[in-house]
Structure 1
Amino acid sequence: MPEPIRLYVRYVDAVGYRVGRFAMYLIFPMGAILLYSTVMRVFFGYPVNWVMEMSQFMLSAYYLLGGAYSLQIDAHVRMDLFYSMMSPRRRAMTDAFTILFVIFYLAVLFRAGVSSTEYSITYAQKNYTAWAPPLWPIKTIMTFGIFLMLLQSISTFFKNVAEARGKSLA
Structure 2
Amino acid sequence: MWRKVEGLFDAIAEIMGRIGWLLVLYCMIFGVTDVFLRYVMNAPSMWIGTTLQAAMVLLACVGGAYALKHDTFVKLDLFYAAASERTQAILDILTAPFAVLFLGTLIWKGIDAAKLSIMLNQVTPTAVPIPIYPIKSVIPLAGAIVLLLVIKNLVRDVRTLVTGHKPAS
What TM-score, normalized to structure 1?
Answer: 0.88
Shift of 1:122: 0.7
1:11 counterpart (8, 12, 18): 8
**What corresponds to 2:131 in structure 1?**
134
1:153 aligns with 2:123: no
Aligned residue identity for 1:89: R
Q: Does 1:32 align with 2:20?
A: no
Q: Which has the higher contact order (CA 8 A, sep 6+)?
A: 1
Specify the alignment match of 1:168 in structure 2: 167
Equivalent pair of 2:107/2:139 in contact (CA under 8 Å): no
Aligned partners of 1:68, 1:99: CA distance in 2, in Å? 15
Match of 2:57 in 1: 60
- Residues 52-94 of structure 1 show CA distances to partners (whole Å, capped at 9, x for unaligned) of 2211111111121121110011100112342234211111122
**Structure 2 stretches lacking a partner, 5+ long:** none
1:75 corresponds to which letter in structure 2?
T
Q: Which residue of 1 aligns with 2:100?
A: 103
TM-score (normalised: structure 2): 0.89
Taking only the aligned residue pairs, the percentage that are identical comes to: 26
Code of the aligned partner of 1:54: T
Relative to 1, partners in 2 of residues 1:16 and 1:99: Cα closer, same or farther, differing over 3 Å? same
Instruction: Give the 3-state SS of the residue equivalent to 2:129 in structure 1.
Output: coil
1:74 equivalenced with 2:71 (yes/no): yes
Equivalent-residue separation in structure 2 for 1:102 and 1:59 (angstroms): 22
Deviation at 1:95, TM superposition (A): 0.6
2:39 corresponds in structure 1 to 42
How far has the Cα of 1:97 moved from its partner? 2.3
2-structure distance, mates of 1:139, 1:79: 32
The answer to whether the 8 Å contact 1:13/1:155 transfers is no
1:169, distance to aligned residue in structure 2 (A): 5.4
